[in-house]
Amino acid sequence: MKSLIKKIFLKNHPREIQELLDKSRLPDHVAIIMDGNGRWAQEKRLPRALGHRAGMESLRSAVKLCAKLGIKILTVYAFSTENWKRPQEEINILMGLLYEYIQKELDELHSEQVQVRAIGRTEELPTPALREINRAQELTAGNKKLILNIALNYGGRTEIVDAVRRIASLAAEGKINPEEITEDLFQKHLYTGDLPNPDLLIRPAGELRISNYLLWQIAYTEFYSTSVYWPDFREEEFMKALLAYQHRQRRFGGLM
């Protein structure tokens, strides 16, 4: 079995990978840091904008695979609070692609019963992008097959600060006592408060850092890193990550 898995990881055999997947042991919630668009473009001597556009195709592939396999939640890091430090031209491109993605994909997402959500300080996004995000959330709010969380103007630290502010306001209003603040109560005030924590976090492009992403939620999440850039992270690469996840022993601090 191990030799077969090793062979599959060395070469691209999507059919064999899918056959090895245990459909009863798939993660309920997958989070992805969509990294490497710029480096992908640079290595191909292309404009960074084309790297981001190719990354959009990988997002489309990931959503389709999650829906096909029955994965319930997909959370993707699309734009961080730190990304505002990038050149204004690149920010405009990213916001334009977000607008374009929703414009092109919304009807299909809705027909496939995908519920679109945005997490982060979305009120600070440019008006056209925010308008499309709100339209997508309203249209798909009742869909049940897959939740697609798009992290926009998102930072793990700002999420924790926002949760603290909400809880502090409740305490100041006398609605809760400080002694009543527990981990469960705190988690309910996060952007993902009504969702289970991610089972699997995927980071393409060879990086081994969290980059201020879902800091509270990933305490016991399995981490998968690959040198493959996000624009090349299509169905077969996603399935490799799922297969690797299925060969982990999740202890949550205890013993098997």
Residue 233 near residue 15 (C-beta atoms within 8 A): no
Q: Name which of 184, 183, 185 is nearest 175 in CA terms.
A: 185
Residue 65 near residue 235 (C-beta atoms within 8 A): yes
Q: Helix crossing, 127-140 with 88-111: angle to 10°?
A: 20
Q: Check if 83 is active-site.
A: yes
Structure tokens at 170: 């409740």
Gap between the Cα atoms of 59 and 34, Å rounded: 8
Residue 71 near residue 146 (C-beta atoms within 8 A): yes
How many helices (H) and strands (E) the chain has is answered by 9, 6
Q: How far is the CA of 186 from the CAs of 38, 48, 167, 189, 210, in angstroms? A: 36, 39, 8, 5, 21
Catalytic residue among 28, 83, 143, 212: 83
Catalytic residue among 12, 22, 28, 35: 35
Q: For the chain, what's the residue count? A: 256
> What positions carry a catalytic annotation?
35, 83
